[in-house]
Structures are given as C-alpha cells and as structure tokens.
Structure 1
C-alpha cells in the first residue's frame, strides 16, 4: 500500500469502517479485514466497528420501513412478488429472518425496510439485529482478514495482484452496468 493510503486508513480507519459498512456493507467490512491483517487496524476493533455500522444502518432502515414502508414498498413495482415472499417468511420465521436477512443477496437494504413495514416489535428487532450484526461484522471482517493472509502467501508479484484486482473490479462494474441496463429496459 502507498504511504498516503496507509496514513488515511490509520487516521480515519475505524470511522471509515463504521460509515463504510453503513453505506456499502460487505465491501467495506471485507476491505477492513484486509487492513486489519496488514496491521493498519486492530482486528477486534475492526470487527466491532463493522458490526456497529451494520447494526445502526439496519435499525435506521427498519425505522424507515416502520414509519414509511407502506408508501415506499409499492414503488418497487418489479419486486412486489419478492416483497410478498419476504413478508410471508417474516410471518413464518420472524427471528430467523431478522438475524439472517443481511446475508440474503439483494436484501441488505430493502430487507430491514420490509421487516419494519411488517410491524415487527422494535425491541425484538433491535435485540436480534444486534445478534445478527455481530455475526455479520465478525464474519465478513474475518473473511477479509484470512483471504488477505492467504493472498500474501502466494508467490506472485505485486503487479500481478494489482492486475487481478483491476480485472475483478472491471468485471463487477460490467455486471452492475448490465444489471442496471436490464432494469431500465423493463
């Protein structure tokens, strides 16, 4: 890493982890795990701030759903079947859904809104969300930490690693643009 990036991470690291996990969850938590492995951040503090960021953002989204869900959810016209399915699952397995929704692909943002709109008890959501957020924060940061340790053991040159990261980034961008293009055509 460059000296400037290293300095930025050490100066703002935990706040970056906290706000990063609020905005871009898994990516920020994974990258913070890499920073912890490189000893730019404390592993335990990184897990704590990642979990807190996820917990706070999910609670805010839950409250949005609780107070505005009936106005917001109908706007997702293409996703009404998925929303109805999640609402049915909430009625069947409320505790499991509250803890696990953050792990379901495509549900990171809308999941807590649906749960809030389902009139789940706020205290129950808070307690289960803390539990789920702790599992999520520790898990994703740990994955980043251990992936970093494996990658650093590989006998590759740094330019090859940067090329692989660039290729993965470009593929993710292409996937995102393709998905956005498809959704705009519907």
Structure 2
C-alpha cells in the first residue's frame, strides 16, 4: 500500500528531512523554521516538523536511528525554536517594508499573488492579532509578516504579536509531540497524525475562503 507521505516531496516529510540533516539536525530544523516564518518560501512542513522534533526529543523507539543522530534535547528546542521563529518573522516584516510585494506574481510557482491576497485579507480583518493567529496557518504564516511590513504596521505592535505567536506556536506543538511521543501507539499512527495536523492547519484558510465566497455570492 502506498502511503500518503510517500507521495509527497522528501522535503515535506519531516522524518526524512530531519534524517537528511543528520548530526546537523538542530541547525537544519532552525533554518527551516526561520525561512517558513517569513522569508519567502511558504511550502515547508513547519507544524509537522515541530511535532516530530518534540517526538524525537522524547526518545521514541520507532525512530530510534533518526533520534540518536538528531540528538534533540527538549529544553534546547523550547528555547531555540521560538528564537528562530521570531527572527524569521522580523525578517519577513522588513522584506515587506523595504522591498514590498512586487515579487508576487499571479503565475509564479511559489510566490503566487493569491497567497499574498489571502494573507492580506486575514490581516485586515483581525489587525495585529492576525500575526499571532497566522502562526497556526501554513502559507499565511510566511506571508503575514511580509504583508504587515508592506502595510506599514507599527513595528512595536508587530513585534509583540510576533514574539507571542512564535512562543505559543513553537513551544506548543513541540511539547505536544514530546508528550505524545512517549506513547508507543503514536509511532504506529504517525501518518494519520501528520494528516490531522495538516487538516487542522489549513481549515482556517478554507473557512476564510468559504466565507468570502459566500459573501460575494450574497452581494451578487
């Protein structure tokens, strides 16, 4: 039977990605989190990567070889992951502020205009609080800081919500993986768990799309 994860590119499989980094797993993990937090490459497995990192820090038997090579320490993860996420968000803010949104094109392969439009709508409806909420929504998580910078959102307000969001998101999902990783049954259910995390992550974006479509139909 072909698994769902086997159909994805290797860089979208968090276990394969961490295994690829080998003894540099922590550095690789932090680079991915930094980039996905606001540096123009929104298609990365941030949520599942944090979950797996926490799980490996728990020393799970099913991934013993990967865990031994990665050698994650939960306390080190809880400090460094939020820092990488904060710095990525701050970088995204300055990219938006000084470069703007000209690099987004309708026919682009990665930096699609529709992604930026979705992030902008999300931001307009919720104000600075959207920066915190966006942490839990793939793609929007990357583009919200850029949109905030381009819209000249106050730097202090952005930084406050960026820091809070990075800590809640980074520590929360990592701790969830660490806690659940101590149960053997979780090892047998990794793929369903990854799919569940993915569905939970994109549900807010789908809901926003549905509301906008419904509102447009009502106005029409």
TM bucket, shorter chain: 0.5 to 0.7
Could you say which residue in structure 2 is the equivalent of 1:20?
Answer: 32
Could you say which residue in structure 2 is the equivalent of 1:36?
Answer: 57
- Identify which of 65, 73, 77 aligns with 1:46: 77
Separation (CA, whole Å) in 2 of partners of 1:89 and 1:108: 11
Separation (CA, whole Å) in 1 of partners of 2:52 and 2:118: 32
Separation (CA, whole Å) in 1 of partners of 2:102 and 2:172: 34
Higher Cα radius of gyration: 1
The question of whether the paired residues in 2 share the 8 Å contact of 1:17 and 1:49 is answered with no
Which structure 2 residues correspond to residues 141-152 of structure 1 after superposition, within 5 A? Answer: 141-150=174-183, 152=184
- Identify which of 145, 153, 168 aligns with 1:135: 168
Cα deviation for residue 27 of structure 1 reads 3.2
Separation (CA, whole Å) in 2 of partners of 1:108 and 1:76: 19
The question of whether the paired residues in 1 share the 8 Å contact of 2:115 and 2:140 is answered with no
Please give the root-mean-square deviation of Cα atoms over the aligned residues, in Å.
Answer: 3.4
Cα deviation for residue 26 of structure 1 reads 2.1
Task: Tell me whether 82-91 or 96-105 shows the greater mean CA deviation.
Answer: 82-91
Residue deviations 1:83-117, cap 9 Å, x none?
A: 44643543443221011112124312222211211
Normalising by structure 1, report the TM-score: 0.66
The question of whether the paired residues in 1 share the 8 Å contact of 2:118 and 2:140 is answered with no
Task: Tell me whether 80-89 or 44-53 shows the greater mean CA deviation.
Answer: 80-89
SS at match of 1:41: coil
Normalising by structure 2, report the TM-score: 0.57
Separation (CA, whole Å) in 2 of partners of 1:22 and 1:62: 13
- Identify which of 75, 81, 90 aligns with 1:59: 90
SS at match of 2:141: coil
Aligned residues between the structures:
154
Give the direction of change, closer, same or farther, for the CA distance of 1:76–1:120 in structure 2 (3 Å limit).
farther
Cα deviation for residue 134 of structure 1 reads 0.3
SS at match of 1:72: coil
Q: Greater helix share, 1 or 2?
A: 1
Give the direction of change, closer, same or farther, for the CA distance of 1:120–1:140 in structure 2 (3 Å limit).
same
